[in-house]
Structure 1
Amino acid sequence: MMRMEVTFRRKVLAILLCVGLVGCASSEPEPKEFDGSLYAGKPVDSLTNEEPPKTEMEAITRGDTALGNKNYDLALYEYLRSLSFPDATHQNKTLYTVGRIHSAKGNFPLAEKAFMKALEFDENDVKSLEELGMLYTKQGLTPEGRTYFFRAINADQVRLNNPDLLTSHSEVTEETLKNLPYDSNSPYRSYMGLGILSDVDNNNDIAKRYYERALEINPNSTQAMINLGYSHYMSGNYYLAQRITNRALKREPDNEKALNNLALIYIALGDNRQALNIFKRNMTTPEALNNVGYFLLIRGKADEAIPFFQQAIDKNPSYYKVANENLERALSEVRLDKVEPIETTKS
């Protein structure tokens, strides 16, 4: 009888122990259902046959692997799955990466949504603020772009414990920029973006300061060098523009924008043949001839432009009508220049 009672107690204990273990397992945080509002790509059922990730970090690691293999849809899926865990702690960085993927794929609405969600976890996320600035600027939304570039720089100042934040675009001076602290992690693309917007507004002097700060942060930025050179060109500092643009071309000899800018600089310096040779490095001879003619024309040198348009047409009689139209415009301007002004009759 005693033996039967012991056996019964052992069975009850085993059942209780089993129930206890199941209870412990069920108390672990279960992932929420996958939220597809930030996903765009192949059907998720076709992406992977693996067992679902058990933790946020496992999902992120899978996403990193997929991203490294350029499997962007799978990377998106895994990153978004990592957000479904109730104990997730890396949402800000994950959403930033999701935004970058959407931006690279040209899906600006989802990129914007991801960056905005990232800011919900960290309002001073410099990278997401900078990406939003670039995103809006690319779409021609310059006021919004400028706002987010400023926010990125201010967030960086918070990181660097500087209480003096930028308040408005109109109040920024060369001295203001000079006094802003920075390090290698500062958002150089935000400074560069504000430089571009300043150049568009014909504020070339402040634009140069923005580009110079971008280069102080990232001396290897070819784009910042090209922009700085072009800003000097716009200000009429042609020899300095030439030196800076040549520095950019030493880094990237085939950079189309740098080559075009250098050709413009040579036209401004009066060396049209050298400009033609540079244009010919990334376009056909008729196109290069037309380009030299066009830029001479807009500089008010219609008489010098005419031979280049004529050569462009001679090189390729079927050349697109732009060269012929430019030739007619140049000839018209030359004729107008030869017309003597009409004297008005004084009463």
Structure 2
Amino acid sequence: MLIAQSQTSGDPDAMIYAYTQALAFDDFEPVDIYLNIARLERQRNNNARAEQAYRSALEEDAKRRDAKEGLALLLIDMKRHDEAETLLLDVVTTDMARLEQSSEQAGECVTDANSPWRSYNGLGLLADILEQGQQARKHYQCALNIQPGMAMLHTNLGFSYYLEGEYPQAERALLRAVNQEPDYERAWSNLGLLYYRWGRSSEALAALRKIMTQAEALNDLGYIALMEGEYESAASLFQRAIDASPRYYPRAVENLNQAKSMQAISKR
């Protein structure tokens, strides 16, 4: 009853309190309770408490795949990459044993509908962080074998290609993402970034316009140019953003001033 009331309120503090109280009763599965607590703590950016909840879940059931994956993805965010990799590889190895696949065959990525796509995706993220792009894309492809229609996975694959400068492959993957989920903001944002770096500025603007106003899109493109050291282009884009905004746009004004300042410094 207390859990239902807290869920209705939508208050994370009340929900965490309710789940904590539920641990005292035998009517609830403690692993599920701890996982719900971990999810709420992550939403509140309380990573230490989220980690504690995930570990409590694993103390209750060391074989729970969702607990291992949740903890591993949290550890990636906390930049504890070795610990995360150990957990994810454990999940994948267990699944390979279920499918009677030997470690020598691991590169073949034998999966079925019940295989751990989250773990393969997490291993892809880790490989990209370590600048191991080819390995990352193998992991993403394994995840896509399991969940071929998931926009997030196509987006991660596309961004991995982008990081390696393989723009045509990146474009194909990102277009698959937006075809699967037309409102997926990260895919459109990555397409905008890709097209701008590819020298296709009008297409970059069109991609960003799918998820934001004209002024916001121009400001974002200006920021990309600023990070690239293209100060004159950045200043022009920020000015266009200011002109396109129906009201005062302080962020674009601040960015314009920064671009002009950096442009002046670069000419000294």
- TM-score (normalizing by structure 1): 0.63
- Residues 112-134 of structure 1, C-alpha deviations (whole Å, 9 max, x = no match): 44443443454333222112102
Going from structure 1 to structure 2, the CA distance change for 1:118 and 1:293 (only over 3 Å counts) comes to closer
Amino acid at match of 1:95: P
Identity %: 29
**AA at the equivalent of 1:204:** G
- When the two chains are superposed, the root-mean-square deviation of aligned CA atoms in Å is 3.2
The alpha carbon displacement at 1:297 in A equals 3.6
Match in the other structure for 2:128: 199
Is 1:98 aligned to 2:33, yes or no?
A: yes
Call closer, same or farther: CA 1:163–1:176 in 2, change over 3 Å: closer
1:270 aligns with 2:199: yes
CA change 1:308–1:177 in 2 (3 A) is: farther
In structure 1, the residue matched to 2:79 is: 140
Distance 1:159 1:70 in 2: 42
Q: Choose from 201, 219, 236 the match for 1:307.
A: 236
* Counterpart-to-counterpart distance in 2, 1:110 and 1:159: 32
Pair 1:324-2:257 in alignment: yes
Determine helix, strand or coil for the equivalent of 1:82: coil
Is the 8 Å Cα contact of residues 99 and 110 (structure 1) preserved in structure 2?
no
Which residue among 150, 153, 156 is the counterpart of 1:221? 150
For residues 195-230 of structure 1, the C-alpha deviation after alignment (integer angstroms, 9 at most, x for no partner) is: 112112221111111111111111122111100011
Q: 1:181 aligned to 2:116?
A: no
Structure 1, unmatched stretches of 5+, are: 1-46, 49-62, 84-90, 165-174, 337-347
Contact conserved, 1:293 with 1:309, CA < 8 A, in 2? yes
Residue 123 in structure 1 maps to residue 62 in structure 2: yes
Equivalent of residue 287 in structure 1, options 190, 194, 216 = 216
Q: Deviations over 1:86-113 (max 9, x none)?
A: xxxxx9xx33312321122116555444
Give, in angstroms, the shift of residue 176 of structure 1: 6.5
Instruction: Choose which of 80, 84, 98 in structure 2 pairs with 1:159.
Output: 98
Structure 2: 5+ residue stretches without partners: none
User: Cα distance 1:179–1:136, how it changes in 2: closer, same or farther (>3 A)?
Assistant: same
> Structure 1 residues 68, 152: CA separation in 2 closer, same or farther (over 3 Å shift)?
farther
Matched letter for residue 214 of structure 1: A
Which of 15, 25, 28 pairs up with 1:81?
25
Q: How many residues align?
A: 255
Name the one with the larger helix percent: 2
Name the CA shift for 1:163/1:96 in 2 (closer, same or farther; >3 Å). Answer: farther
**1:279-304 per-position Cα deviation (integer Å, ceiling 9, x unaligned):** 23333433322221222343354443
Cα distance in 2 between the residues matched to 1:180 and 1:249: 26
Would the aligned equivalents of 1:313 and 1:324 in 2 still touch at CA under 8 Å? no
- Structure 1 residue 79, shift from structure 2 partner: 6.0
**AA paired with 2:237?**
F
